[in-house]
Chains A and B, each alone.
Chain A
Amino acid sequence: MDHHGGGIKSDIIHRSEKNPVIDFADIPFNCINLYNAGCVKKDGIYILLLTIEHLDGSTDLYLARSADGYNFTVAGDPFIIPRKDDPLYEYKTAGVLDARITRLEGAYYIVYLGESRHGTLLNLARTTDFTSVEKLGIISQPDTKAGALFPARINGRYARLDRPNTGGSIWISYSRDLLSWGESEVVLSPRDGYWDSNHIGCAAPPIETPQGWLVFYYGVKMTSGGTLTRIGTVILDRENPAAPLVGRSNIPVLSPRELYERVGDISNIVFSCGAVLEEDSSIKLYYGTSNSCLYVGTTTLEEIIETCMQSTKDF
C-alpha cells in the first residue's frame, strides 16, 4: 500500500460511502457546529455523545443512537449541560464539550471538558443506561484537555490519559477512587519534523489489544495558515503505558483531504473522540471535520497494528 500517494484512498482509515453520518439536517434545532463525538457500542446499539455548539457560542453534549453505526437519530434534549444549580457551574460557564466514553467495571464513564474564564479542565461523569447521568466532579487542574479513562485498571489502579496544555504531550495519571489523581508521567510527546510536531492529544480512549493499549491520537502541525490536525496511532505497554512505546505510527492514519475536511470554521481538521472495535476486528472511527458534520471511517485492527509496528522506532 502506498501511504504517501496523496489521494483520498491512501489513508489507512477508509472514509465510508455513507458519510456524513450526522449532518445539520439530523439536528432537531438550529445550531452552529457539531463535532467531537465520544462513542460506545452498548447492547448492539451505537451511542454517540456529540458536542453541539449553539448559535450563541456555548456548547452542550447530546446523545445520538444508531442500530447500524451509520444512520443516527439525535436526541432533542441535551444529556450533559452546565446547570446553574451545579456547585461547579463556575467551571463550565462557557460550556461542556469533547466527551470521551469508556466502559469500565460495568458502567460508562464520560470524561468531558468544562470551559470557563478559569480555563479548560476535565470533568468526570458516570452512567449505566445513557438515560440518567451522575456527575462525579472535576478531576484535573487547568489547562487540561483530551482526557480519557482506560477501560480496565492497571496494577489495581484506575488510569487516565490527558493533555496538559504546557508541553503539548499526552500524560497518564492514576487513581484509587477516580476522584484524586497522581503519579503522573509523560507518555507521548510531539516529534520534531513530523506531522505531529506541535502538540498531540488522546483521540479515542485506549483499546485493549494483545500487543498493548491501542490509542488513536490527534497530532497537530503548525503552519503559516494555522493548525493542521490529523489522526495517528500508538500502542502503549499493557502494564506500564509510560514505558517505552510498543509502536507508534510514523504516518497519520487519517489526514484532512476532502473539501469537508478542509473548509469550515476550523480549516484542515479531522478530530476524533471515539472508536468502536467490532467483534470481527474491524474498527469504526467517528470523527468531526472542518465543516462541522460527523463522519465515520473504517479500518481493521490488523492494519492499524501493522502501521504502528512497521514504523521505525525513532521516537
Chain B
Amino acid sequence: MSTPTGRDYLHRYEGNPIITLENIPFRCNTVFNCSPVKLGERYLLLLRVEGQQGYSFFALAQSPDGYHFTVEPKPVMLPAKQGPFAKYEVKGIEDPRITEYDGVYYILFTAVSRWGPRIEIAETRDFKDFERIAFISEPGNKDGVLFPEKIGGRFVRLDRPIGKGIGSIWISYSDDLIHWGGHRVLISPRQGMWDSYRVGASVPPIKTEKGWLEIYHGVKMTSTGPIYKIGSALLDLEDPARLVARCDEPLLAPRELYERIGDVHNVVFACGAIVEPDGEMKIYYGAADTCICVATAPFNEILERTLA
C-alpha cells in the first residue's frame, strides 16, 4: 500500500483518512470536502457533510495538531428553510472555502436548487454564528474562491462557470463583494492531459513573492466516469488575470483505496490548505466523496514545481 503513495508531490499522512463517518456524532451519509483555518494553535475544519436525506450541509471539527479532529455535536450551517436564501438552497449547500480579512472569515460555497448550482457568500467571526451575505453568481457556477486581499483596490474571486460544455476557471472583480464584473477566462482544460475535461478553483489563492499560487482540481473523463486530481498554477501578483505558470503534472492523484472507493470513485478534492510557519503546507482534501484526508509538502517545493 505504501509504494505508490510516495510518488505524488503531496505526501499523504499515514493516518489517513483523518475524518470519516465514524467521527461524526450525528447520523449522516458521508463527510468530505472541507476548508481549514488555523486560529492560533487551533485547527478548524469546516466540513461538508452529506446527510442521509441526500443533501449537504456544514459541520465543524477542531484539532490541536491538524491531524486529530473532534467534530462538534451539531451542524453549524444548514440549508435555509425560510427567507430569501431558502429557494436556492433546497438541494443543499456544498464545498465551503474560507478566506480571512482582518478577523472576518468569508465563506464561499455552492448553493444547489432546481435551477442549478450557484455561488453564495457568508461570513463568520467565531465559527458559531454564520451570516449569509448574498448570492454572487447566476446558476451553472461553482468552485468560488476569494483572494485573501484586495488587488488594485478590488475584491477578486475565481470560479467555474460552464461555457459550451467546457469547465474553465474564470476571474471576476468587485467593489462590494455583491456586484461582480470584469469576467475573464483564466485556466482552461488541456487536451490530452490529466485535466482535459474540466478544471475548477480549489484552494483560495496563496500569496507568494512570485505570484498567487492557485491549487486547483482537474478532471479527466473516462469510460467509467471522471478522475479528479489536484494541480497547481501561478497567477501574476498585480494582475491575477495573467497566468504565469502551470504545473504539467498533478500534485496528487487518487491511488489509495480510500480515494478510489466511495460514493464517487477516484476523487481527491481540496477546498483549503494551511501553510505553517516552518513552510510546511497541509492540504485537506475529500477522498471519493466519502472521507477527509490530509497531505503535506514543503510549500516552496510545490511553488518550484509549479514554476518548473
Encoded as 1 (CB less than 8 Å from any B CB) or 0, chain A from 161 to 186 comes to 01011110101011111011111101
Nearest-neighbour CB distance to chain A for B289, whole angstroms, equals 21
Contact B179 A176 (CB under 8 A): yes
B135 at the interface (CB under 8 A from A): yes
In the bound complex, CA of A140 to CA of B180 (Å): 9
Q: Collect the chain B residues with CB atoms within 8 Å of residue A162's CB.
A: 138
Q: Give the chain A neighbours of B182 by CB distance below 8 A.
A: 137-138, 179-180
**Could you list 30 examples of A-B contacts with CB < 8 Å?**
A91-B185, A117-B163, A117-B166, A118-B163, A118-B166, A118-B168, A118-B185, A119-B163, A119-B164, A138-B183, A141-B138, A141-B159, A142-B161, A144-B138, A166-B140, A166-B162, A167-B116, A167-B140, A180-B174, A180-B175, A180-B179, A181-B179, A181-B180, A181-B181, A182-B136, A183-B179, A184-B118, A184-B135, A186-B87, A186-B115
A residues 166-211 with Cβ under 8 Å of B?
166-167, 169, 171, 173-177, 179-184, 186, 189
A166:B179 contact, CB within 8 angstroms: no
Let me know if A171 and B166 touch, CB within 8 A.
no
Query: Is A139 in contact with chain B by the CB < 8 A criterion?
Result: yes
Enumerate chain A residues within 8 angstroms of B117, measured Cβ to Cβ: 166
Q: Given A118-B168, A180-B175, A186-B115, does the pair A140, B162 have CB atoms closer than 8 Å?
A: no
B20 within 8 Å of A (CB atoms): no
A165 to B141 CA separation, bound complex (whole angstroms): 11
CB of B173 within 8 Å of the partner chain: yes
A121: CB under 8 A from chain B?
yes
> Of A169, A174, A180, A184, which contacts B181 at CB under 8 A?
A180
- Chain B residue nearest to A182 (CB atoms) is B179
Find chain B residues with CB under 8 A from A306 CB: none
> Taking the complex as formed, is B139 at the interface, i.e. its CB lies under 8 A from any CB of chain A?
yes
- Extra A-B contacts (18), CB below 8 Å, given A90-B185, A142-B162, A169-B115: A118-B188, A119-B162, A119-B164, A121-B183, A138-B182, A140-B183, A141-B141, A142-B161, A142-B163, A164-B116, A166-B117, A167-B114, A179-B181, A179-B182, A180-B179, A180-B180, A182-B178, A183-B179
Bound Cα distance A117, B53 (Å):
39
B138 touches A171 (CB 8 A): yes
Please give me the residue from chain B that is nearest to A173 by CB atom. B138
Cβ–Cβ contact A121 & B179, under 8 A: no
- 6 tightest A-B CB contacts, nearest first: A119-B163, A166-B140, A142-B163, A180-B181, A166-B116, A167-B115
How far is B163's CA from A100's CA once the two chains are assembled, in angstroms?
Answer: 21
- Judging by beta carbons under 8 Å apart, are B183 and A141 in contact? yes
Question: Is the C-beta of A120 less than 8 angstroms from some C-beta in chain B?
Answer: yes
Chain B residues with CB under 8 A of A90: 185
B164 to A120, Cβ gap below 8 A? yes
Structural contact, A141 and B161, CB atoms closer than 8 A: yes
CA distance A3 to B141 in the complex (A): 40
Q: Which residues of A contact B (CB under 8 A)?
A: 90-91, 117-121, 137-144, 162, 164-167, 169, 171, 173-177, 179-184, 186, 189
How many Å from the CB of B243 to the closest CB on chain A? 13
Interface membership of B170, Cβ < 8 A: yes
A182 touches B134 (CB 8 A): yes
The residue of chain B having its C-beta at the shortest distance from the C-beta of A179 within the complex is B181
Interface residues of B, dominant DSSP: strand
Known interface pairs A139-B181, A141-B170, A179-B181; A121-B163 also in contact (CB < 8 Å) = yes
| Nearest chain B CB to A184 CB, angstrom units | 5
Residue B306 at the chain A interface, CB threshold 8 Å: no
Cα–Cα, bound, A173→B178 (Å): 11
Contacts of A121 in B (CB 8 A): 163, 183
- Please name all residues of chain A whose beta carbon is closer than 8 Å to the beta carbon of B188 when the two chains form the complex: 118
**B169 smallest CB distance to A (angstroms):** 11
Residue of A nearest to B118 (CB): A184
Of chain A, the residue at the smallest CB distance from B163 is: A119
Asked if B164 and A142 sit within 8 Å, CB to CB, the answer is yes
* Chain B positions 179 through 208: 1 when the CB is less than 8 Å from some CB of chain A, otherwise 0: 111111100100000000000000000000
Task: Determine whether B172 belongs to the interface, using a CB cutoff of 8 Å to chain A.
Answer: yes
CA distance A164 to B159 in the complex (A): 15
What CA separation (Å) do A214 and B123 show in the bound complex?
A: 38
Q: Is B33 an interface residue (CB 8 A)?
A: no
Residues in B with CB closer than 8 Å to A189 are 115
Q: How far is the CA of A141 from the CA of B167 in the complex (A)?
A: 12
| B137 contacts A by Cβ under 8 Å | yes
With A166-B115, A189-B115 already in contact, the answer to whether A184 and B138 are too (CB < 8 A) is yes
Could you say which residues of chain A place their CB within 8 Å of the CB of B159?
A: 141
Chain A residues with CB under 8 A of B141: 141, 166
Give Cα distance in the complex from A117 to B181, angstroms.
Answer: 20
- The distance in angstroms between the C-alpha atoms of A121 and B141, with both chains bound, is 14
Q: Are A164 and B138 in contact (CB under 8 A)?
A: yes
From B116, B166, B184, contact of A119 by CB (8 A): B166
Residues of A within 8 A of B115 (CB): 166-167, 169, 186, 189
Query: In the complex, A90 Cα to B137 Cα: how many Å?
Result: 22
Chain A residues in 8 Å Cβ range of B134? 182-183
Residues in A with CB closer than 8 Å to B87 are: 186
CB A159 to nearest CB in B, in angstroms, measures 12
